[in-house]
Amino acid sequence: MAGSTYPLTILREDEEMVREAAKQVDIRLNAYREHYKDVVPEKIIVMVAYQFALENLHIKDRNDTRPYAEKIDELTEVLETYFRK
């Protein structure tokens, strides 16, 4: 990534995903370098990290089932109360 190699110890089944992640980092780095030619590489790396972190948080929000579970619990309570009468 970014012209450097990083030795990692990973599981064989994770190798493809790890390589794809490195590829995605390089794609974003190159896009930012092209767009922000006067910005120092360290800041570009921070911008890429921020973009990945933000996307990760969006994905977590989409996969958060807690509000649905709470609503199901609420509706279950309403139904149980109704059928007890």
Of 56 and 67, the one with more pLDDT: 56
State the pLDDT at residue 10.
92
pLDDT tens-digit series, residues 6-26: 889 999 999 999 999 999 999
Going by pLDDT thresholds of 50, 70 and 90, the confidence category of residue 79 is confident
Greatest Cα-to-Cα distance within the chain, rounded to the nearest angstrom: 72
**Mean pLDDT of all residues in 53-57:** 91
Spatial separation of the C-alpha atoms in residues 16 and 12, rounded to whole Å: 8
pLDDT at position 81 over 90:
no
- Spatial neighbors of 66 by CB under 8 A, at least 6 apart, are none
In this predicted structure, the answer to whether residue 85 has a pLDDT above a threshold of 80 is no
DSSP string for residues in the chain:
-TT--------GGGHHHHHHHHHHHHHHHHHHHHH-TTS-HHHHHHHHHHHHHHHHHHHHHHT--HHHHHHHHHHHHHHHHHHH-
pLDDT attached to residue 52: 93
Average confidence score pLDDT of the chain:
88
